[in-house]
Structure 1
């Protein structure tokens, strides 16, 4: 055999083996946490998460101090390349996660034409969903980032964008019935609000430079568990992971509920999709059945479903029960998950290691000063539904 033929065959074998290794990470249930911190996580942070038994972290960088207007994007109004200083900082954080034994899913909160609202004076940025010119810039961004991160040992997947919501200003109600969702998509298909269409373009850009790394895609309407209902088919790539987030019933689990004179209870009767419904473990299971049913209809294995975020306001008396009810469903279906959030240094609402007490003033002072979070963390009863499962999965 000619040496050049042998070399080619060996190269193809190496590529195939690498691809199998990366997607095989997701062949068994993987449990981890979300990192949405304002300061880049240090080594102790990753060691602590790994110490509980986590195998992966869903990492967002959008709160970090950028070299220009927007971290890694330079400027979400007009992407022109990855700022070198931002890229170096991201690589250093990935190195720390790898040293701790954690895999990382890179998760941008912003893309060109879709600046994350908390970096946009609280305003929802709908430009990406109005003008395909930003699709091309987003594809350029992901092509550049995949080229730079390809082969980094920490990377387990690229989550193309966190919680997209092309439907919000596009005439589709949140949690609409599946037939209404499907009719809406038929109208929007091929236009700028076509979320599967955007994903196909971004995925194509990634695959130009990286054929190996799995790609994770969130459902629409902020990654709602019912929002895959309008997708007529899966993406044509066998290394795609489909992600949902679970905070329903949001009226009870979220921060606004805690500002009510009498917060809504879980379990209890809660507003949802324009009605009042009884939400408990049974209703949680029913709601989470929807993405599993979609995967089955599309003949996609359930190992490709990731619950990329779930959580509840830790000070809500029913939060521990809510976490238990959600995790029972995830256990039963052997799904991947990442809880929200681990030791967040800019918002304490779902930091379960803090228990149910209010945080002291020095926590907020550190945020104002841009200094490190001063609070010690420990396992609490609020964290127990998550902690127990992390430990079990590590055994």
Structure 2
């Protein structure tokens, strides 16, 4: 006869079982996974319950915004890493435990590393030390080794994303929209220097693997994770490494800087040209990732679109999301939209809709409160909900596998 304790244990095991697959060397990612980004400033406001009810399989979570007694959460000081901040590590563990209870896989994604403080925490200035002096590589590798050792085997952790949107090419003069020839020239010139992202990743991956042999590792392409920048990377001989790009192009449309100038589909400024952007153009923009994977025989289940999205008040945002999700699902890629229930900014909170938030909300913010945004839903959130991949077990039943 079942007792309440037995039932509770069985329920917990049922929830955690899919997450525990990560211990098998990336098994969690053998089936297409769809999720969201959680870049919240408060560790206590992580929306794991809402994520589970929506049907998200995982979340890219950053801890960089969280408050700490030190300057930089968990790292202590990115200008002088001396080991993990233990008080912060306890907070992070608590958040991960909460994710595990809801069955949400977590990709840990720092916005800062030793030698590279996140621009928004650096007086709006780019911190490029990591890409100018290999001394910082050692500190970054030490940080990841320490963190991997501490979190090895945690049931919620399904990925270590070494650094969100690295940009070693930022100060080089290379255009963000540069083509394959210009990109390849830059890659060759960066080889062996502190800007060599491929060599940096190999060092950090080796450091992580000295402490954790199996947790999947996600590597973002360069120049804010542009698809074309994947050409600077060569696959690492590790079946649990995934490769990620982000999709925010055309940025003149997707960003809040649009201010009504452009709509989707439509003509949008891209670099020094005006181009018509629609689903076909999105596919062309994504193509470098797929061509790279074909060239190096990287399987589709090791490719990820770690972020995509558009400012919710831009005309055509729902269509942009629909075209992007349809394209990614056709290719069978893992993906995570930006963002979900963010506590700092409403610009990519699609459940709010395309209109302004009410004055009562902003009045509460002005009083120092953290009000709940009204989220009636919208065509944008409907598109996301419809595009989410079903749980792996459900897929197997329907496909007869």
> Measured at CA, do residues 153 and 369 of structure 1 come closer, stay the same or move farther in structure 2, by a change above 3 Å?
farther
Distance, in Å, in 1 between the alignment partners of 2:362 and 2:196 is 40
- 1:41 and 1:286, CA in 2 relative to 1: closer, same or farther beyond 3 A? farther
Conserved? CA contact 2:34–2:57, under 8 Å:
yes
CA–CA distance in structure 2, aligned partners of residues 370 and 114 of structure 1? 31
Cα distance in 1 for partners of 2:165, 2:99 equals 24
Work out whether 1:217 is the aligned partner of 2:227: no
Query: For residues 367 and 97 of structure 1, do their structure 2 counterparts lie closer, same or farther at Cα, with a shift above 3 Å needed?
Result: farther
Contact 1:215 1:239 in 2 (8 A): yes
After the TM superposition, list the runs of 4 or more consecutive aligned residues in structure 1 that deviate by more than 3 angstroms: 17-20, 360-373, 391-395
Two-structure CA RMSD over aligned residues (Å): 1.8
Q: 1:249: which partner in 2?
A: 250
Matched with 2:158 is 156
For residue 226 of structure 1, give the secondary structure of its aligned residue in structure 2.
helix
2:327 aligned with 1:325: no
Q: Choose from 10, 17, 25 the match for 2:28.
A: 25
Deviations 1:187-244 (A, max 9, x none): 110111000111011101101100110100000010111111233x212222110011
Name the structure 2 match of 1:40.
43
- C-alpha contact (below 8 Å) 2:262/2:315 kept by paired residues: no
Name the residue aligned to 1:336: 334
* Bigger mean CA deviation after superposition, 168-177 or 247-256: 168-177
Q: Deviations over 1:137-156 (max 9, x none)?
A: 10110011001111100000
Change over 3 Å in CA distance of 1:362–1:144 after alignment to 2: farther
Q: Specify whether residues 50 and 19 from structure 1 end up closer, same or farther in structure 2 by C-alpha distance, changes over 3 A only.
A: closer
Instruction: Supply the distance in 2 between the matched residues of 1:317 and 1:194 (Cα, whole angstroms).
Output: 39
Distance 2:102 2:160 in 1: 20
Post-superposition shift, 1:276? 1.3
Equivalent residue pairs, number: 374
Q: Deviations over 1:58-79 (max 9, x none)?
A: 1011111122001111011111
Distance of 2:51 and 2:162 partners within structure 1 = 24
Partner of 1:197: 199
Show the counterpart of 1:178: 180
Structure 2: distance between partners of 1:77 and 1:332: 43
Q: Distance in 2 between matches of 1:196 and 1:142?
A: 16
In structure 1, stretches of 5+ residues that fail to align are 1-16
Q: Secondary structure at the match of 2:249?
A: coil
Matched with 2:106 is: 104
Find the aligned partners of 1:88 and 1:227 in 2 and give their Cα distance: 36
Task: Work out the CA distance in 2 between the residues paired with 1:64 and 1:249.
Answer: 30
Residues 21/369 of structure 1: CA separation in 2 closer, same or farther (3 Å cut): farther
User: Does the CA-based 8 Å contact 1:52-1:391 persist in structure 2?
Assistant: no
CA contact (8 A) 2:21 2:27 kept: no
Matched-pair contact (CA < 8 Å) for 2:23–2:153: no
1:216 and 1:363, CA in 2 relative to 1: closer, same or farther beyond 3 A?
farther
Q: CA deviation at 1:302?
A: 1.0
Worse-superposed segment, 202-211 or 376-385: 376-385
- Segments of 5+ residues of structure 2 without an aligned counterpart are 1-19, 395-401
Length-normalised TM-score, structure 1 = 0.90
Please report how far the alpha carbon of residue 288 of structure 1 lies from its aligned counterpart in structure 2 after TM superposition.
1.2
